[in-house]
Amino acid sequence: MYKSRVIKKKKFFFFFFGVKPGIILEELGIPYKVKNIELRKNQQYEPWFLKINPNGKIPAIVDHSKDDFPVFESTAIAIYLCENYDPEEKLLPKNDPKLRSQVIQWVMFEASGIGPTQGQSNFYCRFNPEKVPFAINKCANEIKRIYGVLNKSLEGKEYLVGNKFTLADAMSYPMVRGHFFSGVESIDEFPNLKAWIERIDARPATQKGLNVPVPDKMKEFQENPEKLEEFEKLMHIYFKDRFKI
Ligand SMILES: N[C@@H](CCC(=O)N[C@@H](CS)C(=O)NCC(=O)O)C(=O)O
């Protein structure tokens, strides 16, 4: 029914496609098993999956070590993983309330700003066969405004909080590195943000997580515009059918 791939031998988690939890799992060294959900085949709406995420979206996880406890929404998954499996406070401080709040503030900034804005932009730039300049420009302007906030906050700093890599960075990085896909071709005007992406690009665990459960497509698309075009055409057909346009 769906493609399944065992990533590591121990089986504490089922993990359904979506790079953010992959990055957290790898950064924290949590053993997991992964299942790929094929969105184009609408596997996210199959009854067994809706029991895990009633919203019918990826990512979602099931914690087999805690009575098959299901968790959906990438931010909730990230916080759950840190609260339960980050005793060394690598990604989320526990005992310093101010530091913890600062990390959570940036995590929410991603969940309510970067994620939804780039998500909408992806539709207007890539999935809608009819390009609507007003929608495309509106999203691009908001993304650039958000990147300006990040760029300013990274002035003289390597990472967003406490000068160390935390959940704040881990959650924003996958979206920001895909800026071109969301209609912001260049981020040269945001040098701190560019350097921050390069810094996180060099983290082996994050890079491993980016390739879960299928090899990362963003770099391939950025380097091969014809592959991006091919993908867009497939998406046009899928969404026309889905939205009955
Ligand atoms: N706020 C959600 C967003 C999840 C989301 O939009 N997932 C998309 C893929 S990136 C999805 O599953 N789409 C399938 C659908 O809408 O049918 C999260 O962060 O987990």
Q: What are the tens digits of pLDDT across the range 142-173?
A: 999 999 999 999 999 999 999 999 999 999 99
Question: How far, in Å, from the CA of 60 to the mean position of ligand 1?
Answer: 10
Question: How far, in Å, from the CA of 150 to the mean position of ligand 1?
Answer: 23
At 211, list the tokens: 């390739």
Confidence of residue 3 (pLDDT cuts 50, 70, 90): very low
- pLDDT of 193 over the 60 cut: yes
Interval 107-144: pLDDT, tens: 999 999 999 999 999 999 999 999 999 999 999 999 99
Question: How far, in Å, from the CA of 129 to the mean position of ligand 1?
Answer: 20
Domains of the chain and CATH, by start = 4-85 (3.40.30.10), 97-222 (1.20.1050.10)
Q: Give the atom of ligand 1 at the shortest distance from the alpha carbon of 42.
A: 17
| Mean pLDDT for the stretch of residues 90-100 | 97
Report yes or no: 78 and 107 within 8 Å, Cβ to Cβ: yes
Residue among 38, 50, 57, 123 to mutate when testing ligand 1 (max atoms within 8 A of CB): 57
| Bigger pLDDT: 4 vs 84 | 84
At 146, list the tokens: 């958000």
At 222, list the tokens: 């950025």
pLDDT (0 to 100) of residue 18: 74
**Residues lining ligand 1, CB < 6 A?**
39, 44, 56-59, 73-74, 115
- pLDDT of 7 over the 80 cut: no
How much is the mean pLDDT over the chain? 91
Question: How far, in Å, from the CA of 204 to the mean position of ligand 1?
Answer: 26
Interval 25-71: pLDDT, tens: 999 999 999 988 888 889 999 999 999 999 999 999 999 999 999 99
Question: How far, in Å, from the CA of 98 to the mean position of ligand 1?
Answer: 30
pLDDT (0 to 100) of residue 17: 52
Q: Whose CA is nearest to atom 5 of ligand 1?
A: 57
- pLDDT of 197 over the 80 cut: yes
At 173, list the tokens: 């990085």
Residue among 46, 58, 117 to mutate when testing ligand 1 (max atoms within 8 A of CB): 58
Query: Rounded distance, CA 204 to CA 174, Å?
Result: 14
Confidence of residue 16 (pLDDT cuts 50, 70, 90): low
pLDDT (0 to 100) of residue 13: 53
At 80, list the tokens: 């759950």
- pLDDT of 4 over the 50 cut: no
- pLDDT of 11 over the 80 cut: no
Confidence of residue 9 (pLDDT cuts 50, 70, 90): very low
Query: Rounded distance, CA 120 to CA 99, Å?
Result: 31
Q: Whose CA is nearest to atom 6 of ligand 1?
A: 57
**Helical ranges in the chain per DSSP H:** 19-28, 47-50, 74-85, 97-109, 115-122, 133-153, 167-177, 191-201, 204-210, 218-223, 225-242
Give this prediction's pTM: 0.92
Q: Whose CA is nearest to atom 16 of ligand 1?
A: 57
Q: Whose CA is nearest to atom 20 of ligand 1?
A: 73
